[in-house]
Amino acid sequence: MQLSIDGKSVTAQTGEYILQVAQRNGIEIPALCHHPAVEPSGACRLCMVEITHADWGGWKGLVTACLYPVQEGLIVSTANEKVRKVRAGVLDLLLARCPESELIQNLSRQYGIEKTSFIPRPEPDLCILCGLCVRICEKIGASAISTIGRGIDKIVSVPYETEENYACIGCLACATICPTGEITFTQDEQTRSIWGRNFELVYCEDCGIAIGTPEQLKHYSERSGLDMSYFTKCDRCRNREAAARFARITF
């Protein structure tokens, strides 16, 4: 199907969202809570764009690009004045929430905001509550974290109380996906620490680099149905071995 984004005619498939199509066509829309690995959620409200349609009798409105399904003949403006104003407002609010986040500072600057016009949060952290960590942990981790509380007091956390309540497998997916660097971890030769918990490490049989935590590998094995013996090497060594085997077979 055809639609128009900022005056440019583009092609799209049923089931796609505006954001995907725009990105494919090199049109940039800021998006903080979106990641191709997880389902879209529409939490940050930064990817607002204005849409209208020839058949809508002049009606137009703002929607989130990450969640709005494309349709034939849709007319999208990604950067008109109204859109920029609303986005600037959202960024201003995020900057008040996380004044120390470099990511938010940089984005805000692009919208002409150096300093938030609102009252900054007392004792701010870097979490913008985009929810990516929770979604990725549900998808490839162990559903070990969740939002706790509601409204302005909402935080992301492992369950309360003792460590043995944590289901975290130390896979680091959450820390990797976090756009602001709020989730931190440490790792030395012996241990990896995340969410206040220490994990042992498993090393590659061949090259000896750390390939993960025992809990993590067990989880992968259970999920994929592959035997634990599959998880004894790092990806590179496994690929090298497979390539060698492949070479033996064909030549």
Partner 1 sequence: MKNSKLTSPEKLARLKGKLLKQRQKQRPIITVCAGTACVACGCVPLTAAFREALKENGLEDKIEIRTTGCHGFCERGPLVVLQPEGIFYQQVKPADAKSIIEQTIQNGELVEKLLYRDPQTKQVLTHEKDIPFYSKQMRLIFGMNGHMDPTSIHDYIALGGYAALARSFLEMQPEDIIEEVKKSGLRGRGGGGFLTGKKWATCRKAPGEPKYIICNADEGDPGAFMDRSLLEGNPHAVVEGMIIGAYAIGSHDGYVYVRHEYPLAVKNLNIAIEAAREFGLLGENIFSSGFDFDIKVSRGGGAFVCGESTALMASLEGKIGEPRAKYIHTVTSGLWGKPSTLNNVETWANVPMIIEKGADEYAKVGTEGSKGTKVFALTGKVNNTGLVEVPMGMTLREIVFDIGGGIIENRPFKAVQTGGPSGGCLPESALDMPVDFDTLTEIGSMMGSGGLIVMDNLTCMVDLAKYFIHFLQEESCGKCTPCREGLRQLHHMLEKVTRGEGGVEILDDIERLCMVMENASLCALGSSAPNPVMSTLKYFRNEYLAHLEEQRCPAGVCKDLITYSVIEENCTGCVVCKRACPVDAIEGEKKEVHKINSDICTRCGICLAVCKFDAIFVE
Partner 2 sequence: MTLPQAPLQNILDKHPHDESSLIMLLQDVQEAYRYLPPEILVEIAKTLNVPKAKVFGVATFYKAFSMEPRGETEIKVCCGTACHVRGSTLIMDEFKRTLGVEEGGTTEDGKFTLEAVNCVGTCAMAPVIVVKDVYHGHMTVNKLGKLLKSLNPKKAKTTGAKAS
Residue at token pair 């599959």: 230
- 48 is a site residue for ligand SF4 (CB under 6 A): no
The 10 Å CB-count burial string (b at 16+, else e) for 48-68 is: bbbbbbeeeeeeeeebbbbeb
- 217 is a site residue for ligand SF4 (CB under 6 A): no
Task: Give CA–CA dist 113/9, Å, rounded.
Answer: 32
Task: Give CA–CA dist 6/30, Å, rounded.
Answer: 15
Contact 51, 63 (CB under 8 A): yes
Token readout for 126 is 């870097």
Q: Which of residues 144-173 bind partner 1 (CB under 8 A)?
A: 146-147, 149-154
Contacts of 224 (CB under 8 A, 6+ apart): none
208: left (phi over 0), alpha (psi -120 to 50) or beta: left
Q: Round the CA-based radius of gyration of the chain to a whole number and report it.
A: 22
Picked from partner 2, partner 1, ligand SF4, none, the partner binding residue 160 (CB below 5 to 8 A depending on kind) is partner 2
Picked from ligand SF4, ligand FES, partner 1, none, the partner binding residue 69 (CB below 5 to 8 A depending on kind) is partner 1
Picked from ligand SF4, ligand FES, partner 1, none, the partner binding residue 153 (CB below 5 to 8 A depending on kind) is partner 1
Task: Give CA–CA dist 171/191, Å, rounded.
Answer: 13
Picked from ligand SF4, partner 1, partner 2, none, the partner binding residue 187 (CB below 5 to 8 A depending on kind) is none
Q: Which of residues 142-161 bind ligand SF4 (CB under 6 A)?
A: 142, 144-145, 156
Token readout for 246 is 């492949």
**Which residue, 93 or 237, has its beta carbon nearer to ligand SF4?**
93
Picked from partner 2, partner 1, ligand FES, none, the partner binding residue 119 (CB below 5 to 8 A depending on kind) is partner 1
Shortest reach from residue 53's CB to ligand SF4, in Å: 25
Picked from ligand SF4, partner 1, ligand FES, none, the partner binding residue 174 (CB below 5 to 8 A depending on kind) is ligand SF4
- 104 is a site residue for ligand SF4 (CB under 6 A): no
- 42 is a site residue for ligand FES (CB under 6 A): yes
The distance in angstroms from the start CA to the end CA of the chain is: 46
Contact 194, 173 (CB under 8 A): no
What SS3 state is found at 239? helix
Contacting residue, 5, 18, 27, 130, with ligand SF4 by CB under 6 A: 130
- 218 is a site residue for ligand FES (CB under 6 A): no
Q: Which residues bind to partner 1, rule: CB under 8 A?
A: 41-46, 48, 62-64, 67-69, 82, 85-86, 89-90, 93-94, 96-97, 117-119, 128-129, 131, 146-147, 149-154
Name the residues that contact ligand SF4, by CB under 6 A: 127-133, 136-137, 141-142, 144-145, 156, 168-174, 177-180, 182-183, 194-195
